[in-house]
Amino acid sequence: MPAQINADGLLPFLAILGRPLAAGDEVVLDFSELRRVTPAGLVALVATVVRWRREHHPMTFAGLKTCSILGYLQRMDVFKTCGVELQETFQRHEAKGRFVPVRFIDHQISAMGTDLAGCLAPGGEEYGHPMCDLYDLSWYVLTEIANNVRQHSHGLGYVSAQVNRTEGFVRLALADNGCGILKSFQDAGFKWSEGMTDAEAICKALEPTVSSKGSPTNEGVGLTLVAGLVRQTKSWLMIVSGCGVLQIGNDLKPKAVNLPDGARYQGTLVVMTFRQQNVRDYASLLHAAKTNVGLLQRSGKAIRFLP
């Protein structure tokens, strides 16, 4: 494990997780040098470890005694979610308003969104509360991406988040160990997906009404509007699937690249960092996101979704 798994260290870490394994290969995870890791690194790690276990790879968690952030990893339920029980030598405190430990995405998406949004924006479920806009935005993006995981990935998904009040950021991340975006399009029988790269498939998934369920009406707008909310709040988005990486940053323009060293991340990872000061008037933000992608006319009247 590298020392830093943050914005700069995430892609190299994903390249490590994406190294091919032969049947029966042992995986040794050495935590001795790890000093910092974001929610994105945590959910990507957990999703991959769970996949390795399901593939019956022997697992060793090394260097835990000398890991300076062992307590943090335990508070974030990293080992517990991986199926590893470790003795805790600390007292747990209320996580509300600070972080969301790694959590398995089950079928109760709406309830999960309520719990997680309430943790990130305590009191925000009340109308007129100062945190209500952050609450509504968090609930929306978490449930939309989580529904994608449940409906399209054919794998297991995990979510985590963290609030940094000093920097004014909210970091959210969801990862699964499923088939990836391109394969979900191919499995749905879309002829236009033949010959596509993973990066091109991610870009396609951001287009409105594109869904691997192949349904008309309002299917396939969730990821589109999540990206739109990122743009409206001048925030940051990264989507990793297979070899492909798509990022939307300060200039609001999507940039598509590949993972380093020809690596392939099995599944899909979605990472968002929102600036709290820019999350104001959620209803207007969502309306603008819908208008900008053509789901609403400029007059505000709804238009019919096309198949």
Q: pLDDT of 212-244, one tens digit each?
A: 554 443 355 789 999 999 999 999 999 999 999
The residue ranges of the chain whose pLDDT is under 50 are: 214-218, 300, 303, 307
What is the reported pLDDT for 90? 87
Q: pTM of the full predicted structure?
A: 0.91
The per-residue pLDDT for range 170-192, each reduced to its tens digit, is 999 999 999 999 999 999 899 99
Largest CA distance in the chain: 61
As a whole number of angstroms, the distance between CA 81 and CA 46 comes to: 7
For residues 102, 108, 110, 116, the Cα torsion angle rounded to the nearest 10 degrees is -20
CA distance 233 to 7: 19
Domain locations along the chain:
96-292
pLDDT for res 296: 81
Q: Backbone phi, then psi, for 268, in 5-degree steps?
A: -135, 140
CA–centroid distance for 265 within its chain: 13
248 DSSP β-pair partners: 237, 254
Q: How many other CB atoms are there within 10 angstroms of residue 302's CB atom?
A: 9
User: What does the pLDDT read at residue 301?
Assistant: 53
Which CATH number is 96-292's, of 3.20.20.70, 3.30.565.10, 3.40.50.2300, 3.30.470.20? 3.30.565.10
Burial of 199 (0-12, 13-18, 19+ CB in 10 A): buried
Residue spans of beta strands (DSSP E) within the chain: 4-5, 27-30, 36-37, 59-62, 99-104, 157-164, 169-176, 236-242, 244-248, 254-258, 265-275
Q: Which residues contact 235 (CB under 8 A, 6 or more apart)?
A: 229, 272, 273, 274, 275, 278
Count of residues making up the chain: 307
